[in-house]
Structure 1
Amino acid sequence: MNIARTVRFQKAWKELNEGEKELAKKALRNMASDLRYPALRVKKMKGAEGIWEARVSQTLRITFQIQGGTIILRNIGRHDETLERP
Protein backbone atom coordinates (compact mmCIF):
# COMPACT_ATOMS: atom_id res chain seq x y z
CA MET A 1 0.00 0.00 0.00
CA ASN A 2 1.03 3.59 -0.52
CA ILE A 3 1.48 5.84 2.50
CA ALA A 4 0.56 9.54 2.71
CA ARG A 5 1.23 11.82 5.68
CA THR A 6 -0.97 14.67 6.88
CA VAL A 7 0.58 17.93 8.05
CA ARG A 8 -0.47 17.05 11.59
CA PHE A 9 1.35 13.71 11.37
CA GLN A 10 4.48 15.45 10.09
CA LYS A 11 4.41 17.92 13.01
CA ALA A 12 3.91 15.11 15.54
CA TRP A 13 6.76 13.14 13.91
CA LYS A 14 9.17 16.00 14.62
CA GLU A 15 8.35 15.76 18.33
CA LEU A 16 9.48 12.12 18.57
CA ASN A 17 12.96 11.25 19.80
CA GLU A 18 15.32 9.22 17.59
CA GLY A 19 14.50 5.91 19.30
CA GLU A 20 10.78 6.47 18.81
CA LYS A 21 11.34 7.39 15.16
CA GLU A 22 13.21 4.12 14.57
CA LEU A 23 10.37 2.12 16.13
CA ALA A 24 7.84 4.08 14.06
CA LYS A 25 9.79 3.47 10.84
CA LYS A 26 9.65 -0.27 11.49
CA ALA A 27 5.91 -0.08 12.17
CA LEU A 28 5.35 1.94 8.97
CA ARG A 29 7.25 -0.65 6.92
CA ASN A 30 5.05 -3.36 8.42
CA MET A 31 1.92 -1.30 7.73
CA ALA A 32 2.88 -0.81 4.09
CA SER A 33 3.44 -4.53 3.56
CA ASP A 34 0.71 -6.06 5.76
CA LEU A 35 -1.77 -4.21 7.98
CA ARG A 36 -2.53 -7.52 9.69
CA TYR A 37 1.05 -7.84 10.96
CA PRO A 38 0.47 -9.07 14.56
CA ALA A 39 2.72 -6.57 16.37
CA LEU A 40 0.74 -3.64 14.93
CA ARG A 41 -2.49 -4.72 16.64
CA VAL A 42 -4.50 -2.68 14.14
CA LYS A 43 -8.09 -1.97 15.14
CA LYS A 44 -10.89 0.45 14.37
CA MET A 45 -11.17 3.37 16.75
CA LYS A 46 -14.40 3.56 18.72
CA GLY A 47 -16.33 6.76 18.16
CA ALA A 48 -14.18 7.85 15.20
CA GLU A 49 -15.75 6.74 11.92
CA GLY A 50 -13.24 5.41 9.40
CA ILE A 51 -10.19 5.95 11.62
CA TRP A 52 -7.89 3.13 12.67
CA GLU A 53 -5.08 2.83 15.19
CA ALA A 54 -1.85 0.83 15.08
CA ARG A 55 0.61 0.08 17.86
CA VAL A 56 4.20 1.29 17.44
CA SER A 57 5.28 0.38 20.97
CA GLN A 58 3.73 0.01 24.39
CA THR A 59 3.37 3.80 24.62
CA LEU A 60 3.19 4.99 20.98
CA ARG A 61 0.26 4.81 18.58
CA ILE A 62 -0.38 5.82 14.98
CA THR A 63 -3.84 6.80 13.78
CA PHE A 64 -4.72 6.50 10.11
CA GLN A 65 -7.41 6.20 7.46
CA ILE A 66 -7.52 3.99 4.39
CA GLN A 67 -8.64 5.44 1.07
CA GLY A 68 -8.36 3.14 -1.90
CA GLY A 69 -4.85 1.72 -1.84
CA THR A 70 -3.45 4.48 0.36
CA ILE A 71 -2.86 4.61 4.10
CA ILE A 72 -3.26 8.22 5.25
CA LEU A 73 -1.30 8.78 8.45
CA ARG A 74 -3.20 11.20 10.71
CA ASN A 75 -1.29 11.33 14.00
CA ILE A 76 1.49 9.68 15.99
CA GLY A 77 2.36 10.01 19.65
CA ARG A 78 1.76 8.83 23.18
CA HIS A 79 -1.12 6.41 23.57
CA ASP A 80 -3.65 8.58 25.42
CA GLU A 81 -2.82 11.89 23.71
CA THR A 82 -2.95 10.41 20.22
CA LEU A 83 -6.15 8.47 20.73
CA GLU A 84 -7.91 11.54 22.17
CA ARG A 85 -7.21 13.46 18.94
CA PRO A 86 -7.01 10.85 16.18
Structure 2
Amino acid sequence: MSGTFEIDKTIDTCGTRCPIPLLRAKQALREMPVGDLLQVFTTDPGAEADFKAMLKHLPHELLSFEAGLEGDSNTPRIDTFVIRKG
Protein backbone atom coordinates (compact mmCIF):
# COMPACT_ATOMS: atom_id res chain seq x y z
CA MET A 1 0.00 0.00 0.00
CA SER A 2 2.96 2.33 0.01
CA GLY A 3 3.39 5.13 -2.49
CA THR A 4 4.10 8.79 -2.91
CA PHE A 5 1.39 11.05 -1.58
CA GLU A 6 0.87 14.79 -1.38
CA ILE A 7 0.37 15.08 2.37
CA ASP A 8 -1.80 17.96 3.64
CA LYS A 9 -1.16 17.52 7.37
CA THR A 10 1.22 15.47 9.51
CA ILE A 11 0.90 14.61 13.18
CA ASP A 12 3.55 12.95 15.31
CA THR A 13 2.13 10.82 18.10
CA CYS A 14 5.40 9.03 18.86
CA GLY A 15 5.83 8.26 22.53
CA THR A 16 2.08 8.00 23.19
CA ARG A 17 -0.10 4.91 23.60
CA CYS A 18 -3.68 4.10 22.73
CA PRO A 19 -5.99 5.93 22.68
CA ILE A 20 -3.89 9.09 22.16
CA PRO A 21 -2.80 8.39 18.53
CA LEU A 22 -6.41 7.66 17.56
CA LEU A 23 -7.78 10.71 19.35
CA ARG A 24 -5.21 13.03 17.78
CA ALA A 25 -5.86 11.58 14.33
CA LYS A 26 -9.64 11.96 14.72
CA GLN A 27 -9.21 15.57 15.88
CA ALA A 28 -6.93 16.38 12.94
CA LEU A 29 -9.35 14.77 10.47
CA ARG A 30 -12.28 16.78 11.88
CA GLU A 31 -10.40 19.98 11.06
CA MET A 32 -9.43 18.96 7.51
CA PRO A 33 -11.40 19.30 4.26
CA VAL A 34 -12.76 16.14 2.61
CA GLY A 35 -10.15 14.59 0.33
CA ASP A 36 -7.13 15.89 2.24
CA LEU A 37 -4.43 13.46 3.35
CA LEU A 38 -3.30 13.03 6.94
CA GLN A 39 0.02 11.39 7.77
CA VAL A 40 0.41 9.94 11.27
CA PHE A 41 3.66 8.80 12.90
CA THR A 42 3.36 6.52 15.93
CA THR A 43 5.40 4.21 18.12
CA ASP A 44 2.32 2.54 19.63
CA PRO A 45 2.72 -1.20 18.90
CA GLY A 46 -1.07 -1.66 18.72
CA ALA A 47 -1.69 1.22 16.34
CA GLU A 48 -2.05 -0.83 13.15
CA ALA A 49 -4.96 -2.85 14.53
CA ASP A 50 -6.43 0.20 16.30
CA PHE A 51 -6.42 2.42 13.19
CA LYS A 52 -7.83 -0.31 10.95
CA ALA A 53 -10.64 -0.99 13.44
CA MET A 54 -11.41 2.73 13.84
CA LEU A 55 -11.50 3.36 10.09
CA LYS A 56 -14.05 0.57 9.53
CA HIS A 57 -16.57 2.80 11.31
CA LEU A 58 -15.63 6.14 9.71
CA PRO A 59 -15.83 7.47 6.15
CA HIS A 60 -12.05 7.89 5.89
CA GLU A 61 -9.73 5.64 3.86
CA LEU A 62 -6.41 4.13 4.90
CA LEU A 63 -4.20 4.68 1.86
CA SER A 64 -0.95 3.45 3.34
CA PHE A 65 0.49 1.73 6.37
CA GLU A 66 4.24 1.32 6.63
CA ALA A 67 5.73 -0.52 9.57
CA GLY A 68 9.01 0.97 10.64
CA LEU A 69 12.13 -1.04 11.22
CA GLU A 70 12.13 -2.95 14.48
CA GLY A 71 13.86 -0.90 17.13
CA ASP A 72 14.93 -1.59 20.66
CA SER A 73 14.15 0.04 24.00
CA ASN A 74 16.21 3.09 22.99
CA THR A 75 14.91 3.42 19.42
CA PRO A 76 11.33 2.18 19.07
CA ARG A 77 9.77 1.26 15.74
CA ILE A 78 8.00 4.19 14.07
CA ASP A 79 4.97 3.28 11.96
CA THR A 80 3.47 5.61 9.37
CA PHE A 81 -0.17 5.88 8.29
CA VAL A 82 -1.65 7.92 5.44
CA ILE A 83 -5.39 8.51 5.72
CA ARG A 84 -7.69 10.27 3.24
CA LYS A 85 -10.45 12.31 4.87
CA GLY A 86 -13.83 10.99 3.74
Q: TM-score, normalised by structure 2?
A: 0.32
More strand by share: 1
| TM-score between both structures, scaled by the size of structure 1 | 0.32
Higher helix share: 1
- Whose Rg is larger? 2
